[in-house]
Amino acid sequence: MITERKQYQLFGNIIFEKVTIEVPFKIPNPVPNEACFLYMLEGQVDYKMQHQSISVPVNEAVLLKCGTYFSQMKGNTLSKKSQIVFVHFHPEILKKIYETDLPKIFQQPKLVDQTIDITQINNDFLIQKYIEGLLFYFDNPTLINEDLLVIKLKEIILLLCQTKNAPVIQQILSQLFSPTSYTFKQIIENSLYNPISSEELAQMTNLSLSSFKREFKKNYDDSPANYIRNKKLEKAAELLLISDERITNIAFDCGFNDLANFSTLFHEKYSQTPSNFRLNQLSK
């Protein structure tokens, strides 16, 4: 759960955030028309996306393009929380602060690779110093004003342009002005193992709940709740056989936040508990 959140808005949109989260914590991210820079102050975050997965430890960062993905927050042996700084890039705000002179980093490159969803930024000294400056302003909110927020937003963009993976960053940021369209099935498949409701999925697909259920039935010949529950349980059964991960962690990875509920549903489907299922299958 999120235990603390500090935010600064610019022109009505959240630009900078500092978030403290009790871990483990898994949250789906909708399909916004934005990109997001994330810097880990404490803990670890694992991102799973359509084309790749990536882990971000302390003092490292990632840049993600707008799209369908979910993240899983993890702690470490010394701490049960994650602390993250976010910087959000909204195309309408970028156009406003740069007027007609957008930096090259936002211009679409000649060769566009649609499979690039995320890039990791490792231990960059200037990025670390930038984050230290942001933390000062999170601790001193009375110093914040609109002009300063514009300067800090432009500063991180300039620093990203100077990192060694600037070409990949350009691939991601250019998508802000030609965002990827996601099909109904892509959104569903990328959200299968998230703790997400039908109402949230309907919102992600830009449909009313009733229209979403009709479209789901047409594509999958099943109800959203039944299909997604079965997919989660099938994935859990697979993981029970191929890994020695704790059952609690497997349940969490498959989108079940309540172990008791997971065990009940698993027993209903497979007529045995998860632990007995693992033992019986492995003994064959």
Whether this prediction's pTM lies above 0.95 is answered by: no
Segment 107-149, tens digit of pLDDT: 766 565 666 778 888 878 999 999 999 999 999 999 999 999 9
Q: Last residue of a domain, which of 113, 144, 177?
A: 177
Q: Last residue of a domain, which of 150, 177, 204?
A: 177
Structure tokens that stand for 38 in this block: 């994330």
Distance CA 271, CA 136 (A): 56
Segment 55-76, tens digit of pLDDT: 888 899 988 875 544 455 555 5
pLDDT value of position 189: 84
Q: Last residue of a domain, which of 155, 177, 199?
A: 177
pLDDT value of position 206: 79
Q: Is the pLDDT of residue 20 over 60?
A: yes
Do 170 and 200 lie in one domain? The reply is no
| Those residues with Cβ within 8 angstroms of residue 134's Cβ, 6 or more apart along the chain or in another chain | 16, 18, 85, 152
Q: How many CA atoms lie within 13 A of 76 on its CB side?
A: 12
Do 169 and 236 lie in one domain? The reply is no
User: How many domains would you assign to the chain?
Assistant: 2
For residue 127, the enclosing domain spans 2-177
Strand ranges in 75-196 using DSSP code E only, listed in sequence order: 81-89, 118-121
Do 151 and 205 lie in one domain? The reply is no
